[in-house]
Amino acid sequence: MELRKFSIPEIIFGRGSLRYVGRCARRIGAEKVFLVSDPGLEQAGWVDRLTETLEEEKLRWVYFNDVVSNPRDLQIEKGAAVYRRERADVVIALGGGSPMDAAKGIAVVASNGGQIRDYEGANRIQRPLPPMVFIPSTAGSGSDITQFAIITDVRRKVKMSIISRTLVPNISIIDPLVLQTKTRKLIIAAAIDAMSHAIESYVSNIASPFTELLSLQAIGLIVKHLHTAVETRSLDSLEQLSSASTVAGMAFSNAGLGADHALAHSLGGMFDTLHGLVHPVLLPAVMRFNLPECIEKMADIGRVLLGRRLGSSEATALGGIEKFEEFCESLEVGVHLKEIVRDKSELPNLCKMAVNDACLLTNPRKATCEDLLQICEGAW
Amino acid sequence: MELRKFSIPEIIFGRGSLRYVGRCARRIGAEKVFLVSDPGLEQAGWVDRLTETLEEEKLRWVYFNDVVSNPRDLQIEKGAAVYRRERADVVIALGGGSPMDAAKGIAVVASNGGQIRDYEGANRIQRPLPPMVFIPSTAGSGSDITQFAIITDVRRKVKMSIISRTLVPNISIIDPLVLQTKTRKLIIAAAIDAMSHAIESYVSNIASPFTELLSLQAIGLIVKHLHTAVETRSLDSLEQLSSASTVAGMAFSNAGLGADHALAHSLGGMFDTLHGLVHPVLLPAVMRFNLPECIEKMADIGRVLLGRRLGSSEATALGGIEKFEEFCESLEVGVHLKEIVRDKSELPNLCKMAVNDACLLTNPRKATCEDLLQICEGAW
């Protein structure tokens, strides 16, 4: 086995764990916190609950909520200016992937200077970041666990992948109670995102014994609990989704992703789509493309999705892909690329951007721009 | 699920990864390193290989090797005095459980003052420790991964369990090449130690979805690869043992251990035994004692050890215990307590100490001093 690295934050997981935020911030040296969240979480009362824990620790804070879905470079630079002006010392993010990734971007620019696009790609961040405590409000992005941040470069219309070990937060506080106020659509989009993290990381060309079982665990948990979570909103099933998202985050942060995410980032940059709903469209086509390079591993995924092996590894692998498609259809999400792109003439441009995404480096089968185009045609 | 915490170091795993030690020490702020190792590793040339990486980074260091198997309180306090006198700023340990635990103890006393016995038990360390980079030379103790340090209080003849999140090293560098110079006996003792970590953590009353699969993964790897590793010394099989020890460490650091380790610490304190060789004696009796409280989980362990389920959960669980006993016998290690203790009249004293060990808190079945005595009688 070649060299493998594995890095995750300290994790505090469980119902009501939000109450530890202040104590954790204090422990990692906070005096004045830079808090990132969004209006939805304010309205649901979670931001107040969080700031109460800061008050208990007699911490000061500055609040920043100028973040949209698929956060943008200009918002990052604006946030970094506020961070510096207010002389904050610790970053806390409460939210889904967008506020968390925005918080990471702000931490980078505030401590390393320049603009966020200077750090696009892998391992471009030189100086240490302020300590970070993240609290995910969805069970999906894994940003609270991972060394990934995805920020949109508005001018180029591209979602940049910024990957660096230093983007792993110090502490992730995962409180399944926070999921209860999310819409059906967001729960589904987040869970499918986590599923795609698990599937892509499992077949990644740098997967390791430290990541493989985590990937399979996440797949199994999501296929078992997502329907119940959506239908009943039971805390037990939401907690299982949180658990799945967390272990999928541990896996993909350290094993990387693949062609599905490379394309998803380009799609998101060009069309501002809800990230989680891109995978039902793209991932089956990517899995079929990758199959010849990793039949046994795809069969492992099939076994978990189907709950059993079929006659051969290839049959199990293909059965798994079909099961994933059925699973997405049963959730009533779109499964055709034309529903997002509308005009086929956009595809070459889309693939030209995707081929430069850092996520493509760990795809198990080498994919050229033409290959990506064929994948998109297959998903059309 | 109640609150669960999960904390592990950054991990760098692979053949030749020892070369990153200097760079890692530099990255976490080292100017002058306090390096702990032992004469065996000096002779095998590993200490020189390590200090070369410090030289490459132009780091200064002070070397400390006054550590015996089952490290003692006085050695810790001596080491802490050297650390302070030399104004070191980062602790590096290269070794098995003894040098690594000694290094942790030295880090505690150097930064928190007092004597090491002041910190016995769980969560007694208040102030931050110096950053730590650990390189295990055996695949067993998991000290490079865990929040545990075990130090002998010579006066009381007890191995103290010191447990604190702050004892998790910053970086663990796991290089399977280092295992090649170990004796047959040490490889076996270390692997059985890792197996016992995996078994006890799996049935622990604070096991979680973040630890359970890791425990089972470690059990499977050790039963599959230990014989080959001992017979052939192939790098592939040694690497599998390193991997097993690492994931077992992740599991038990966060899920805790049980009655086997509580007794093993007392035995080690009274008789200075090689820790890993205590488990073949005690663990089967502990597993039989715990069985009524966790039949399904013990059946999972049995399934992994046997490679299949038997007719019922209880049969699978019992079959697993027998398989563990056969496995130990096939390695030609002692399996009777009388070979270590010799005089039965020592048992009540042994159990009186064990009942106060912090490891007993996470045993799945509550065990009184009388219960422990009965376990010891069963293992006699």
Question: For the segment A211-229, what is each residue's pLDDT rounded down to a tens digit?
Answer: 999 999 999 999 999 999 9
Q: Taking the complete model, does pTM exceed 0.90, yes or no?
A: yes
CB atoms within 10 A of CB B326: 11
From chain A, pick out residues whose CB is under 8 angstroms from the CB of B239: 1
Question: Which residue from B minimizes the CA distance to A170?
Answer: B7
Domains of chain A as residue ranges with CATH: 10-177 (3.40.50.1970), 183-379 (1.20.1090.10)
Question: Which residue from A minimizes the CA distance to B217?
Answer: A213
Average confidence (pLDDT) over A318-333:
97
Residue A272 binned pLDDT confidence (cut-offs 50, 70, 90): confident
Residue A342 binned pLDDT confidence (cut-offs 50, 70, 90): confident
Contact B326, B280 (CB under 8 A): no
What pLDDT, on a 0 to 100 scale, did the predictor assign at position A16?
A: 96
Q: Do B1 and A14 touch (CB under 8 A)?
A: yes
Q: Look at residue A1 and tell me whether its pLDDT is greater than 80.
A: no
**Min Cα separation A14/chain B (Å):** 4
User: For residues B210 and B301, what is the distance between their CA atoms, to the nearest angstrom?
Assistant: 17
From chain B, pick out residues whose CB is under 8 angstroms from the CB of A198: none
**Min Cα separation A281/chain B (Å):** 30
Question: Which residue from A minimizes the CA distance to B244?
Answer: A209
From chain A, pick out residues whose CB is under 8 angstroms from the CB of B17: 3
Please report the ipTM that was assigned to this predicted complex: 0.93
Average confidence (pLDDT) over A109-120:
97
What pLDDT, on a 0 to 100 scale, did the predictor assign at position A181?
A: 86
What pLDDT, on a 0 to 100 scale, did the predictor assign at position B30?
A: 96
Q: Do B5 and A10 touch (CB under 8 A)?
A: yes
Q: Do A11 and B210 touch (CB under 8 A)?
A: yes
From chain B, pick out residues whose CB is under 8 angstroms from the CB of A7: 10-11
Query: What is the H or E stretch that residue A264 is in?
Result: helix A259-271
Question: Which residue from B minimizes the CA distance to A3?
Answer: B14
**Min Cα separation B372/chain A (Å):** 33
For residue range B126-148, what is the model confidence (pLDDT) as tens digits? 999 999 999 999 999 999 999 99
From chain A, pick out residues whose CB is under 8 angstroms from the CB of B8: 6, 8
What pLDDT, on a 0 to 100 scale, did the predictor assign at position B272?
A: 87
| A contact test, residue of B8, B26, B240 with most A CBs within 10 A | B8
What pLDDT, on a 0 to 100 scale, did the predictor assign at position A296?
A: 98
Tokens representing residue B179 in the block:
């295992």
**Min Cα separation B6/chain A (Å):** 5
**Min Cα separation B3/chain A (Å):** 4
Q: Which residues of chain B have pLDDT under 50?
A: none
- Which amino acid, residue B76? I
From chain A, pick out residues whose CB is under 8 angstroms from the CB of B14: 1-4
For residue range A58-101, what is the model confidence (pLDDT) as tens digits? 999 999 999 998 999 999 999 999 999 999 999 999 999 999 99
User: For residues B315 and B324, what is the distance between their CA atoms, to the nearest angstrom?
Assistant: 14
Query: What is the H or E stretch that residue A148 is in?
Result: strand A148-153
Phi and psi, residue B336, nearest 5°: -120, 135
Tokens representing residue B227 in the block:
């014989």
User: Strand A121-122 relative to strand A132-136: parallel, antiparallel, unpaired?
Assistant: unpaired
Q: Alpha carbon of B302 to those of A63, B296, B298, B319: distances in Å? A: 53, 10, 6, 6
Q: Do A13 and B208 touch (CB under 8 A)?
A: yes
What pLDDT, on a 0 to 100 scale, did the predictor assign at position B1?
A: 72
For residue range A9-24, what is the model confidence (pLDDT) as tens digits? 999 999 999 999 999 9
